Chains A and B, each alone.
Chain A
Amino acid sequence: EVQLVESGGGLVQPGRSLRLSCAASGFTFDDYAMHWVRQTPGKGLEWVSGISWNSGHIAYADSVRGRFTIYRDDAKNSLFLQMNSLRAEDTALYYCAKSLGSMVDGLDYWGLGTLVTVSS
């Protein structure tokens, strides 16, 4: 059974940093692209970042480029999102999601999310 479990969220002040983690199990992790998607309170889904199976293709939403870094540790079946210079508008529930295959494919499994609140 595929499982994705996010962690690392919490309350953080504007300008500070946070690192999100996603522990994956139930599939061959290094065969698939992985993504981070967030849901802001009362709003819809917003893609944040994605990384290909071999880390050769990495992409970011314009709103986070230069502040967030996505990376993966295939030995630990884990995906990470390093978030720096956090802003109030980064407050959201952050989901880790597995791609059907490549970066462009649909996302067939999602975690339950980890909540990030940016506030002073």
Chain B
Amino acid sequence: SYVLTQPPSVSLAPGQTARITCEGYNIGSKSVHWYQRKPGQAPVLVVYNDGDRPSGIPERFSGSNSGNTATLTISRVEAGDEADYYCQMWDSSSDHRVFGGGTILTVL
């Protein structure tokens, strides 16, 4: 089955740019979605179809996807961005929705 690999954690200071990667075979040919999950809260869709933003999501959140890597970029990171971030795609060969293992973003 298709596997999406994310780094377990990313740490950086406020104001820096966070780049969270999601690796999968030829993922650039698929649509990738990104979710933010904070403790005790429902997950929130922050980027869909590689780089589109739902209404209400700040422009600081952006996405890209090419080759074997999709990337969620969060510019000018704030303390409120601390959360777990998950990439996700649909694997048509198995007819499964696949999530990455998640990345814990820590703002120092």
Contact = CB atoms under 8 A, between A and B. Distances in A.
Interface of A: 35, 37, 39, 44-47, 50, 59, 61-62, 95, 97, 100, 103-108, 110-113
A100 B48 contact: yes
Contact of A59 (B33, B96, B100, B101): B96
Contacts of A95: 42-43
A97 B86 CA distance: 15
Interface string B75-108: 0000000001010101010011111111000000
Main secondary structure of the interface of A (DSSP, over half): strand
B49 interface: yes
Contacts of A50: 97
Contacts of A103: 90
Given A100-B45, A107-B33, 6 more contacts: A45-B86, A62-B96, A95-B43, A104-B31, A106-B48, A108-B45
Given A104-B31, A107-B33, A110-B42, A44 B96 contact: no
B37 interface: yes
A85 to B, nearest CB: 21
B96 A107 contact: no
Contacts of B102: 44-45
Nearest to A49: B97
Contacts of B97: 35, 37, 47, 50, 59, 104
A105 B33 CA distance: 8
A41 to B, nearest CB: 13
A6 B33 CA distance: 23
B48 A113 contact: no
B45 A106 contact: yes
22 contacts: A39-B37, A44-B86, A44-B99, A44-B100, A44-B102, A45-B43, A47-B88, A47-B96, A47-B98, A59-B97, A62-B96, A100-B45, A104-B90, A105-B31, A107-B43, A108-B45, A108-B48, A108-B54, A110-B42, A110-B44, A112-B41, A112-B42
